[in-house]
Structure 1
């Protein structure tokens, strides 16, 4: 059922806040968008609606139609203009819709007004994405982060319209000054709506504390990885670009990889060896999407810090998608919001096997681009070599002479560094290469003076 707060038992005490309903088949969803795109917008309203449809189907709904209206900006009261709202009422009856999904995040006022007019339930893109995240969260960390985003989304949308919500928990004084109500509950009382809000605020505080614990634990793991001085590369990209498939192919991690949006949410880190024998850690992360809710970015801060703290980014682009450029630009915008856009980046132009003519792919549009097919195992050697080259450029260059008695340092350089030149001299092993900044101190005393 779309827009459930959470499908897990630990949130059942909040189930009274929503109408879960019963439906034997998929919900019939009608999609609505306002076309307020400017000349410099990278996304057209049609593209955005197509993606909204894919999100709805991922959530389990059947899309029965779409509506768009050209406006300078959405109407503050009802998102659409009055005429289109009435048209939507008629369409809802004709198509027997269960659900109306709006392509932008509705304000609480817009949602309440639309729910008064329409018989179907009203949700927006943010609620839809949150529902998909709730379906796919598997780890405790993922479940906590999704629930926090859902609670913060629902809090301002609690309405006092329902009789159930406005009923007093305590008694009230009558007009004659006498006291009504049952014994033990007399007094000014507290509305059900106020109780619900207080409970959600309390739950939000609990979730933030739990997520902070998760964040601290992740920080400990990152420090442990840093002590190994292995560069960390975060795999980023638009949802369903093939990140997890590529990650599995490179690492044999067995991460869930399906042809759906947001198939995986939880970050996974694995160790791999590059063609130059350098060891690195590769981390798969949550996919990005157009109009990714700000609340979701904030709630997933602990997970997204894996991107922020990485030494380099491996962006995966579905080059067969008609909106490949727009999707990559969206990824860059989110990385800028995370202050991670300036990191060294390699781009895997994935699904090259689905392109009519791979030679026509313009790799110059993406940083350090390599055409690959993760599914068909094509171009992966070239990708790993490019990763090694770009990673080496971000490391610190050294010119050292290591005595033969320090063979362990030579072995360490082979595993953690990038060797440009190596020769065996009378006094030891002469190495010119690049090493991770955290390991430079091991080799300073062996530097060859200029």
Structure 2
């Protein structure tokens, strides 16, 4: 996003509003929701969040979201704080956005726009960049009362917030649709390339462990502890956007591939779920899914439910092993910590850990190793002499128990996992 609207590098003064619709019985608790929205804003470089508040609404005003009295009250605060950008933690219609910007004399972003800006700032791989552009265009297409061209942006970001590359033009639907078609074509190529990489990786004998979790749960910190990799790990929402893969040797000597994924978030706008599906598809390849939870967070249960819902919508198979790592145990006081550790100990698939201090991580790694070593079966295979490649693969895997020569080739007794058998059949 660059430095916000000012070319001189000054920070954009931003204000966060969380509208709490009092008539909505299913609404999230407003306090933690506002904290999350402020953390989202803090994840975007160039912003200085000068204030934040919960706005209780009995009902949504169709043209302006807030009633006239409340709108005037907010305007006075924005003027007093010299606010340039308002972030509304929720959906805002194009008409509401245009009216509020006019009334308040500021720029306004809703939750989807903000998350898109963060994604644009974080995307590193070719695929990540294309996915963000696709999501941004889908979002922009629905808001043609006030459209941006983010393709002229400079220094990353989408130009919603402003910046040297912004030209506020009314782009027509056809232009956007043409861009969407072009990007989809590029994405198809990238996805095919990734499918080739993935097919090559399927031949790699190592199981894949995918780290998933709510944004800011500490996945990247755990990833770093497990791999020794300097992956960007900040106390910041969406610090990881593109999946990072690393080969890791577990203490047992077992080698696995560890995959760190983008953080999940509640109320993720639909066009973003679609856009980032490919990024999360790494999870579908996993042999074990490790769900990292921030156990110190007041909404840890709701966050875990959000993650489970997204995994379900991705179509994660029932038979994939799943562990929960209850992270940030070091942030709980003595009594709460003891209770969480005792509760985790009651489940063989739950581990209380601190990725930061390393507490509980060795036990987690041992359990991961054991889970991936489960259920081996013995088979007797007859291989022809011409099938030297298959024979070599079996020896590489370390699954050969005995081997005898026959008239036509080799009779080999193996002990292997279902995954190894599947890979062998694919050779």
User: What band does the TM-score fall into relative to the shorter chain?
Assistant: 0.7 to 0.9
Q: Does 1:29 align with 2:8?
A: no
Match of 1:436 among 385, 395, 419: 419
Separation (CA, whole Å) in 2 of partners of 1:84 and 1:203: 40
1:349 lines up with 2:326 in the alignment: yes
Aligned mates of 1:156, 1:56 — CA distance in 2 = 23
**400 and 201 in structure 1: CA distance in 2 versus 1, 3 angstrom threshold:** closer
Instruction: State yes or no: 1:370 paired with 2:351.
Output: yes
Structure 1's 440 and 58: CA in aligned 2 closer, same or farther, altered over 3 A?
Answer: closer
Paired residue for 2:361? 380
- Paired position in structure 2 for 1:180: none
| 1:77 match | 63
Q: Which residue of 1 aligns with 2:96?
A: 110
In the TM superposition, 1:90-169 aligns within 5 A as 90-159=76-145
Confirm or deny: 8 A CA contact 1:346 1:386 kept in the other structure. Answer: no
* Correspondence list, 1:275-354, <5 A: 275-340=251-316, 342=318, 343-354=320-331
Say whether 1:199 aligns with 2:175. yes
SS at match of 1:255: coil
1:268 maps to what in 2? 244
Task: Report Cα offsets for 1:84-104 as digits up to 9, x if no partner.
Answer: 122222222222211111110
Q: Distance in 2 between matches of 1:161 and 1:213?
A: 28
In the alignment, the residues of structure 2 paired with residue 283 and residue 160 of structure 1 have an alpha-carbon distance, to the nearest angstrom, of 39
Cα distance in 1 between the residues matched to 2:135 and 2:68: 32
Alignment partners' CA distance in 2, 1:116 and 1:143:
32
What is the CA–CA distance in structure 2 between the aligned matches of 1:39 and 1:80, rounded to whole Å?
19
Tell me, in whole angstroms, the C-alpha distance in 1 between the residues paired with 2:303 and 2:95.
Answer: 31
CA shift digits 1:91-121 (9 cap, x unpaired): 2222221111111021222212222222111
Contact 1:137 1:143 in 2 (8 A): yes
Contact 1:249 1:377 in 2 (8 A): yes
SS for the counterpart of 1:436 is: helix
| Paired position in structure 1 for 2:193 | 217
1:291 and 1:195, CA in 2 relative to 1: closer, same or farther beyond 3 A?
closer
Give distance in 2, aligned partners of 1:52 and 1:130. 14
Q: Post-superposition shift, 1:160?
A: 6.5
Q: 1:117 to 1:100 in 2, by over 3 A?
A: same
- After superposition, the Cα gap between the structure-2 partners of 1:413 and 1:276, relative to the gap in structure 1 and judged at 3 Å, is farther
Name the SS for the 2:142 alignment partner. helix
Task: Return the alpha-carbon distance in structure 1 between the equivalents of residues 352 and 209 of structure 2.
Answer: 19
**Contact 2:205/2:397 (CA < 8 Å) preserved in 1?**
no
The question of whether the paired residues in 1 share the 8 Å contact of 2:116 and 2:132 is answered with yes
Larger Rg: 1
Q: Is 2:66 the partner of 1:66?
A: no
SS at structure 1 position matched to 2:186: helix
**Aligned-partner SS, 1:315:** strand
Cα 1:150–1:441 shift into 2, 3 Å: closer
Q: CA deviation at 1:124?
A: 0.9
Range that drifts further, 206-215 or 60-69: 60-69
How far off is 1:83 after superposition?
2.3
Structure 1 residue runs of 5 or longer lacking an equivalent are 5-19, 163-191, 443-450
TM-score by length of 2: 0.79
How much has 1:228 moved relative to structure 2? 2.5
Question: Does the 8 Å CA contact 2:3/2:9 hold for their aligned counterparts?
Answer: no
| Structure 1 residues 252 and 26: CA distance shift in structure 2, 3 A | same
How far apart are residue 51 of structure 1 and its match?
0.8
Cα distance in 1 for partners of 2:221, 2:321 equals: 22
- Pairing 1:50–2:50 present: no
Q: TM-score, normalised by structure 1?
A: 0.75
Aligned to 1:288, the other structure's residue is in SS state: coil
Provide, for residues 202-251 of structure 1, a one-character-per-residue CA deviation record: whole Å limited to 9, x for no partner: 22222111112111111111211112343222111112222112112212
Instruction: Give ranges in structure 2 of 5+ residues lacking alignment.
Output: 149-167, 383-389, 404-410
Q: Please give the secondary structure, in 2, of the residue aligned with 1:304.
A: helix
